[in-house]
Chain A
Amino acid sequence: MALILKEYVFDRVESCGKKSPVRVILEELEKMSPCEGVNVKLNDYDWVLTVKSLGELRGFNVEEEGKEDGFIKLKVYNPCQ
C-alpha cells in the first residue's frame, strides 16, 4: 500500500506556471522513496496520458482512480520493494 505524501490538483483553466504539471509531478516523485507517491487530479486529457506514459517509462506505478467533478484522479507512486 503506497504512502501518499502529497496531493496535487492541476486545473487546466489556470495551471500556468514555470513548470508543466507533468514535470512538477514527476520531479516530486523522483525525490520520494519506494512505496511513496502522490495523488493527482487533472482535467486535461493530454496531461493524463503523458503522466501515464512518462510515469511508467520512469518506473513509477500509475493507477487511475475514477473521475471527480470533471477531474481524472491518478495515484502515482514508486514501486514498493
Chain B
Amino acid sequence: MSQYVHPEVLADTKFVLDNLNNPKVRIVEVDYDPSTAYNVWHIPNAVLIRWREDLRHPVVRDFVTPEQFEELLSKLGVGNDHTVILYGDYNNWFAAYAFWLFKAYGHEDLKLLNGGRTKWAKEQLPTSKEVPSFPRTNYKVRKVDWGSHRAFFWEILQRVNRGEVGKLVQLVDVRSPKEYTGEIKAPPEYADEQSQVGGHIPGAVSIPWAQAVNPDTGEFKPRSELENIYQAVPKDKEIITYCRIGERASHTWFVLKYLLGYPAVRVYDGSSAEWNNIVGAPVKRGSEP
C-alpha cells in the first residue's frame, strides 16, 4: 500500500485485526441496509452507522448538520482523537461516502478498510453479532469544509453552459456504461426508480467505479494500474465525480484524491438522480463525452 500517494488512509485486514481491542481505534461499519450486512455479521467491536437513518438529514435531501453529526459520534463512543476505520456493505460504497462526510466535517485520523466486508469474509477472519458499547464522548466538529468536497447542480450547469467541461473542469461519470449512454435510466432490477431521461452530463467521461478494484478481493488495484485506468482524467484540472446518488462517486473520489493524489476532486452528490430529472438540464446520450 506504500505505493499510493496517501497510504495512511487505507487499513488492511491485518491492521484491523491487530487493533480490534485498541482503545484508540474505533471500527465503524457504514451500511445502507444493516439487516443484510451488520446484523448478519460484522467485525468484532465495530459500531454501526446506518447510512439513511444516521447520516442523511431527516427532512431535506442533504446530510445531517454538524450538531447532529456530533451527537451521533458522541453516542457511538467515537472521539475526535480516535483512529476511525470505516468499512461497509455494497463494496464499501457507503463507507467511502461516509469517509467523504467525515472529512468534510474535519475528522483527521480516518481510514478505509481495503477490500471491506468481502476481503474480511474471504480471509475467514473473526466475526461477531454482538453490538459493542463504548463510553459516550464529547465529539466536536472542528471545521466544516464543503467547498473543497462538494459540487452543486448550479455550478455544474454553469460550467456546462460556458463550455468549460473538458477545459477547466473534468466530470467523471462512474456509473455503468449502459447508465452513461442512456440505454437504461435505472439499474436493472430497479425499474421503478428510473430518472425522467437517460444519459450523461455533456462532457463527462465514463470510468465505471468498479474498474478501480480487484473483483475477487474487493481491494484497490495497484497505483500503476489505477494511473492507467484514469489516464483520461487530467491532474491539472478540477475533477468532479458523479453517479446516481453519490455513493459510487465517493468511491472514485477516494481513489483519485487519496490513492492517486489528485489535488482538486469533489463529488456532485446530487448526481443523475437530480440532474436527469431537472427540466431543461442538458443531457447527452451515447458513448461520447
Identify the A interface with B (CB < 8 A). Answer: 8-24, 43-46, 49-50, 53-54, 70
Contact = CB atoms under 8 A, between A and B. Distances in A.
A22 B218 CA distance: 18
Contact of B247 (A12, A16, A20): A16
B8 interface: no
B36 A13 contact: no
B245 interface: yes
A46 B224 CA distance: 27
24 contacts: A8-B189, A9-B189, A10-B189, A11-B188, A13-B176, A13-B209, A14-B179, A14-B188, A15-B187, A15-B189, A16-B93, A16-B245, A17-B187, A17-B189, A17-B193, A20-B32, A20-B36, A21-B189, A45-B118, A46-B89, A46-B91, A46-B121, A46-B218, A54-B40
Contacts of B122: 45
Interface string B243-263: 111011000000000000000
B111 interface: no
Contacts of B208: 13
B197 interface: no
Contact of B33 (A11, A20, A53): A20
B117 interface: yes
Contacts of B93: 16
B210 interface: yes
Contact of A23 (B35, B188, B209, B210): B35
A14 B178 contact: yes
B178 to A, nearest CB: 7
Interface residues of B, number: 37
Interface in B65-79: none
Nearest to A15: B187
B58 interface: no
Given A10-B189, A12-B91, A19 B33 contact: yes
Contacts of A17: 186-187, 189-190, 193
Given A45-B118, A45-B218, A53-B40, A14 B187 contact: yes
A21 B35 CA distance: 12
B141 interface: no
Given A17-B193, A20-B89, A11 B176 contact: yes
B215 to A, nearest CB: 7
Nearest to B39: A54
Contacts of A19: 33
Given A13-B208, A18-B190, A23-B33, A46 B245 contact: no
Interface string B174-205: 01101100000011111001000000000000
Contacts of A46: 37, 89, 91, 116-118, 121, 218
